[in-house]
Amino acid sequence: MRRRMLLVGLWAATTAVAVVLGVLAVSTVGATIRDRGPVGDEVAEDLSAPPTQPPSTDVPAVRDEITGEYGGFVVECRRAWAYGIAARPDRDAGWRVISWEKGPDDDVDAVFSNGRSSVDLEVFCNQGRPTVSELERNTLGDD
């Protein structure tokens, strides 16, 4: 009886370890495939490093406007921090701003819409310059 309980306990422990390793492997591989890296609490916090602070206003800023048929999104970079300054839709072509992020953040987003079409724009600071990291175009269906 004691041997049977020991085997059941070992089986339960082995199963728990296998499940935890499987979940970690799938979430890590999934994050890598999506090019997003680990998300949320999966990243161990380094308490020895000083906390990351947004830059002070004395840091030189680089401002640029990302433009397209939707209008423009003005983004300013201070080192690696992005600031959404303004979202300017091309109203003559029927575009409007749905939302935009002011930051500071590692990237800022703006969403423009024109009837059934929308553009989702994500900008980050690459070596201190505003750079498009993702531009997603969507069209609503007929329903």
pLDDT digits (tens, 9 = 90+) for 4-26: 888 888 888 888 888 877 777 77
* One domain, residues 78 and 129: yes
Total domains present in the chain: 2
Residue 97: how many other CB atoms lie within 10 Å: 17
138: nearest Cα among 34, 121, 33: 121
Which positions ≥6 away from 87 have C-beta within 8 Å? 71, 72, 73, 74, 97, 100, 110, 112
Mean pLDDT of the chain: 80
* One domain, residues 35 and 69: no
Inside any domain, residue 70? yes
In this prediction, residue 140 has a pLDDT band, given cuts at 50, 70 and 90, of confident
* One domain, residues 13 and 81: no
Residues linked to residue 73 through DSSP beta bridges, in sequence order: 66, 87
Residue ranges making up the domain that contains 35: 2-42
* One domain, residues 30 and 94: no
Inside any domain, residue 11? yes
* One domain, residues 29 and 97: no
Inside any domain, residue 103? yes
pLDDT of residue 26: 74
* One domain, residues 66 and 23: no
| Tokens 């070992």, residue located | 10
Model confidence at 54: pLDDT above 70: no
Full-model pTM = 0.59
In this prediction, residue 38 has a pLDDT band, given cuts at 50, 70 and 90, of very low
* One domain, residues 71 and 124: yes
